[in-house]
Amino acid sequence: MMSEQTNATSHSLETANLIQRFLAGEQSVFHDLIRPYEQMYYRLAFSILRNEQDAEDAVQQAIVTLFTRLDQLKEPERFKQWSIRVVQNEARLLWRRRRQGQYESIDDREENGNEISFRGPRDFADWRDLPSETVEKREIHAALLKALESIPASYREILLLRDVEQLNVAETMEILGISEATVKTRLHRARLRLREALAPTLGIPQPSFWERWKGMNPWSPARR
């Protein structure tokens, strides 16, 4: 915990230092500035555009914006959130251009009515040492992409930020421009939706599955 905090602090100090050097005319430090986040940029753009070439184009476009507007960033320690938001905006823009009017947005009404608040950062460390499952990684990947495609874009985005990139709630709020309560409820709904979408492919039993067999004798003549 302690070292994580220290790392985060020294990291934002380094970012501030790089930005200062960039603004003083040493533009080549831009390479180092984006390096920690460039994979995240791609994954985020891809999650929105679902096309490799488009995702790279959107990231490049965002890079131009970051490069030319860095002097407008008031708080250097917010570079991470700011840059992610720029990438997201560029990707959404391209997505709209690609598919006019087809950008799904979920109804905000769906998100009201859950007031439990989020506390503290998460620790997924102890979830990682699960034994590998029978399904191959490539199959899991394909299933996951397919499932992600089937859910609303806003769900896809929040899952990517929180569960793939493991950004904290504050960062997610800032990037998506939504409240803490909305981050929480949207994430919860997104997880349940993705789980449902993933269930048939990964052989995960669904509630409806159990419902169907409830009280039924699997060897009854009616089923033969």
Partner 1 sequence: MVTCKTIIGQISDYLEGNVSAEMRETIERHLRGCRRCSAVYDSTRKMLVIMGDETIFEVPEGYGNRLHSFVDSLVAKAKSSTS
Residue ranges binding partner 1 (CB under 8 A): 25, 27-28, 30-31, 34, 38-39, 42-43, 46, 52, 56, 59-60, 63-64, 67, 114, 116, 118-120, 122-124, 127-128, 130, 133, 137, 140-141, 144, 159, 163-164, 166, 184, 187-188, 191-192, 194-195, 198-199, 202, 204-207, 210-211
Give min distance, CB of 35 to partner 1, in A. Answer: 8
Give min distance, CB of 100 to partner 1, in A. Answer: 26
Task: Find all residues with CB under 8 Å of 71, minimum gap 6, and list them.
Answer: 23
Cβ distance to partner 1 smaller for residue 42 or 103: 42
Give min distance, CB of 221 to partner 1, in A. Answer: 25
Cβ distance to partner 1 smaller for residue 86 or 187: 187
Give min distance, CB of 73 to partner 1, in A. Answer: 17
